[in-house]
Amino acid sequence: MIYIVNDLDMITKLEVGDLNLNIEEFDIVDLIQNVFDLFEMKAAKKDISLTFDKAEMEPHYVKADQEKIQQVLTNLTVNSIKYGRDKGTTEVSIVDLSENKYLVRLTDNGIGINNEDFPRLFERFYRVSKSRSRDEGGSGLGLSIVKHIIEAHNEKIYVESELGVGSEFSFTIEKSETINS
């Protein structure tokens, strides 16, 4: 069963080097929808909608550790809500990157991140200056966990952002070979 691991539990596991991947084949669209369902209430408080770029999303089967990818999607979704603007949108799209990879992209139209912060963004405990509007507190661990998990899969994570416009986090993931999507 899938469960949500809080930041500190997960970081404890990472620190003892216990990041055994349990590789499975699953539909990432379904997993994203589950994460959206879990955070719908939190998003609604800021009138933020969590959506896919298309109304009808076909299943996209991938090969990865489902529980850990859920953690990645959770951390990115929670950030997009926390640092999103009222009445904003968090939108997910899945790009057919190559024969064996998808790119999962999470875009928000929130407060954005200064490019100067990019080099440190994925560091443990790093948080962008508290002087920014609407700081809701946090551990600064979310993105370091995301990076650890993606790197444990030998995949890549990217960030693009413009201050005051929004942010886009994306990561690569292996396609399932056996299940056609």
Ligand X SMILES: Nc1ncnc2c1ncn2[C@@H]1O[C@H](COP(=O)(O)OP(=O)(O)O)[C@@H](O)[C@H]1O
Q: Is 72 in the site for ligand X (CB under 6 A)?
A: no
Among 27, 65, 91, 108, binds ligand X (CB under 6 A): 108
Q: Which of 95, 108, 112 is nearest to 51 (CA)?
A: 108
Total residues binding ligand X (CB under 6 A): 21
Kindly give the pairing relationship between strand 61-65 and strand 49-52: unpaired
Among 66, 74, 79, 167, binds Mg ion (CB under 5 A): 79
Q: Which entry of Mg ion, ligand X, none binds 113, CB below 5 to 8 A by partner kind?
A: ligand X
Residues 6+ apart with CB under 8 A from 112: 161, 162, 163, 164, 165, 166, 167
Question: Please, are residues 23 and 63 in contact by the beta-carbon 8 Å criterion?
Answer: yes
Please state, in angstroms and rounded to a whole number, the distance separating the CA atoms of residues 72 and 141.
Answer: 12
Say which residue the tokens 């953690």 belong to.
71
Q: Which entry of Mg ion, ligand X, none binds 91, CB below 5 to 8 A by partner kind?
A: none
Q: Is 102 in the site for ligand X (CB under 6 A)?
A: no
Among 143, 150, 157, 173, binds ligand X (CB under 6 A): 143
Q: How far is the CB of 91 from ligand X (least distance, A)?
A: 12
Alpha helices in the chain (DSSP H): 7-15, 28-44, 66-82, 142-152
Q: Is 88 in the site for ligand X (CB under 6 A)?
A: no
Residues 114 to 153: which contact Mg ion by CB under 5 A?
Answer: 138, 142
Please state, in angstroms and rounded to a whole number, the distance separating the CA atoms of residues 171 and 59.
Answer: 18
Q: How far is the CB of 9 from ligand X (least distance, A)?
A: 14
Q: How far is the CB of 80 from ligand X (least distance, A)?
A: 5
Residues 155 to 174: which contact Mg ion by CB under 5 A?
Answer: none
Residues 6+ apart with CB under 8 A from 26: 61, 62, 64, 66
Binding region for Mg ion (CB under 5 A): 79, 138, 142
| Residues in contact with ligand X by the rule CB under 6 A | 75, 79-80, 83, 108, 110-113, 121, 126-128, 138-144, 167
